[in-house]
Every structure is written in structure tokens, then in C-alpha cells.
Amino acid sequence: MAVSGWFGRKRKDGSPAEGVPDGIAVKCSSCSQILFVRDFERNQKVCTKCGHHHRLNAHERLEITVDEDSFEEIDAVLQSADPLLFPEYREKLHKAKNTSTSSEAVITGTATVEGFPVVIGIADFTFMGGSMGSVVGEKIARAIEVGIEKRFPVIMFTASGGARMQEGLLSLMQMAKTSAAVGRLGTNGIPFIVVLTDPTTGGTYASYSCLGDVILAEPGAIIGFAGRRVGNQEVGVKLPDNFQTSEFQLEHGMIDRIVPRKDLPLALKTLLEFFALSAVKESVIAGN
């Protein structure tokens, strides 16, 4: 699947630019610096002034992560239904399909990363906030099962507001489904690498995202359970400035490392090399 050229196209996702002529310059939403689009995109959408990591859609992420032309998407045909006949869900799905760069809130497939074969899943925040409904849960579970079958490490890039409200309890169950799949991956001795990107919250964070053998995060990403506003704080408790960020989660022992976007290839290479060298042979774990 060809994924090159996304950076040159008109942005379809929540652009960091506001009030600036499209296509020439963008304003960093973090430091307000005006940046040339060319420089901004060449820098993988990381602000050249303040280093703020702006969101990437799934295809942009794919392009800077996997080896060229190595990605083969699986389960692209899975489509969300509207099992609850939830108000406005069909309209929202329709709109998401037209405006997002992906056909659902996650794309999954096989690829090579720095030469190592992997199963990779990349959440797309531009599709209904990356929310996890039946399709997202199913795609992730199936991707993990492909990892078990092929004995490839599984890499998940997360970006999601949480479970998809519009599918009710079915969405909640995707938390259990994906986590159980990670459990199977583990008993088969296959590594699971999670890269948390902005934002990863709610039911998505409280399931497979927290279960990586190694958990990396991009700098400054919002990562947490219930959003800053949703959570009920005790009277008199002052939230730290870095509440629910990568830095906060690192400080509290929930993630392994914060890795700047440009350093992710090297980090993934190091991990994949380690896991390739240490791979548990099938015969050893037979009987699981």
C-alpha cells in the first residue's frame, strides 16, 4: 500500500494552524510561533521552535515508522455497524469516513520496521477521536493473533479518547477483548511494544495500552484515565501542571521512556533487535 506523499497533501485532520493561509505557514498551537509548512512537515510535525509534538494521522505515522512499501494492511474491510441505533452515530461515522484519512480509528497490518518483521497497529485520532468500538477492538485482537501465528512482535501506536460511547457496553467489552489478546501474546512469548501518542486516555489507556512489555511515549502527550475535567478531585487537591502527561506517567512509573519522534526509529530498532536475539523458540513454549 502506497503511503508516501501524505505530507504534501492538504491536511485533513485537526491542523495546528489557525488563521494562517493554508499551505504556506502554520502557527504552533503550543508556542504560537509561525512556521513554514515545509519546515514543519520536514520536522515530522514537531515544532521547530518549542519541540511540541503535534498529532499525526495514522498514515503520516505509518510513513515515518515502517520501511518503505513494507506495510500490508489487514482487516481493512471491517466496518462499524450501529448496533444500538445510537443518536447521530451513523452520521458521525459517515462524516469520519469522509474527513479522516483512515477507514476506522485504527489501521493494522504487517510490515518491517528497521528490517524486522512486525505486526503493527496505528490508531487514528482523526477518526472519531480514535475511539474504540467493536471494529477497533476486533482489528487489534486479530492483529495480535496474527502476531501469535507468525511469531512477529506486535507494535501498537495509540491515540484515542477512550471507548466509543456510541456502541455502549459492546465498546467496554473491547477493553477486555484486547487485553485478553495481549495476555495470549504474552503466554506465547511474543513481545508487545506500545508507543503512547497524544492523546491516549480512558478505556484505551486502561486496557491494551498499559500492557506493553515496553511502553514508550512521545514527549508532552496527554496520557491518563479520566480527563482533567472528568475526574472528581478531592477538595483542596491541586493538580500538578504535568498532570496526565507522558512526563507525569514516567515520574509515576507507568511508562519506560519518553522518546522524541525523531528518535523513535532507533528506539524501535534497539528493541526489535533485542527481541529478535532473545526470541523464545516455539518448542520451548509448546504446551501453552
Partner 1 sequence: MQGTNFDFEKPIAELEAMIASLKSVEGRSKAAAEGIDIDTAVEPLELELHRVMEKVYGNLSAWEKTQMARHKDRPYSLDYIRLIFDDFFELHGDRLAANDEAIVGGLAKLNGQPVVVIGQQKGRDLKERQRRNFGSARAEGFRKALRIARLAEKFRVPLFTFVDTAGAAADLRAEEHGVSEAIARNLMEFSLLRIPVIVTVIGEGGSGGALGVAVGDRVLMLEHSVYSVISPEGCAAILWRDKAMANEAADALKLTAQYAHQLNLVDEILPEPLGGAHRNVTDMALTLKEALVRHLNELSGSGETTLVDGRYSRLRSMGVFQEKVSR
Nearest distance from C-beta of residue 14 to partner 1, angstroms: 18
Give Dmax (Cα) for the chain. Answer: 61
Residue 100 CA to residue 128 CA, distance in Å, equals 8
Angle at which helices 58-65 and 264-278 cross, to 10° = 60
> From the list 170, 188, 219, 267, which residue makes contact with partner 1 (rule: CB under 8 A)?
170
> From the list 157, 208, 250, 272, which residue makes contact with partner 1 (rule: CB under 8 A)?
208
Query: Per CB under 8 A, does 92 bind partner 1?
Result: no
Q: What are phi and psi of 196, to 5 degrees?
A: -85, 125
Length reported for the chain: 288
The partner residues of 28 in beta bridges, in order of sequence, read none
Query: Per CB under 8 A, does 130 bind partner 1?
Result: no
Query: Per CB under 8 A, does 168 bind partner 1?
Result: yes
Q: Do 115 and 67 contact (CB within 8 A), yes or no?
A: yes
Query: Per CB under 8 A, does 149 bind partner 1?
Result: no
**Residues 173-192 vs partner 1: string with x where CB under 8 A?**
xxxxx-xxxxxx-xx-----
Residue 79 CA to residue 144 CA, distance in Å, equals 19
> From the list 86, 146, 189, 265, which residue makes contact with partner 1 (rule: CB under 8 A)?
86
Residue 139 CA to residue 145 CA, distance in Å, equals 10
Residues that bind partner 1 (CB under 8 A): 77-81, 83-84, 86-88, 134-135, 137-138, 141, 163-165, 167-177, 179-184, 186-187, 202-203, 205-211, 224-226, 230-234, 237, 239-240, 243-244, 248, 252-254
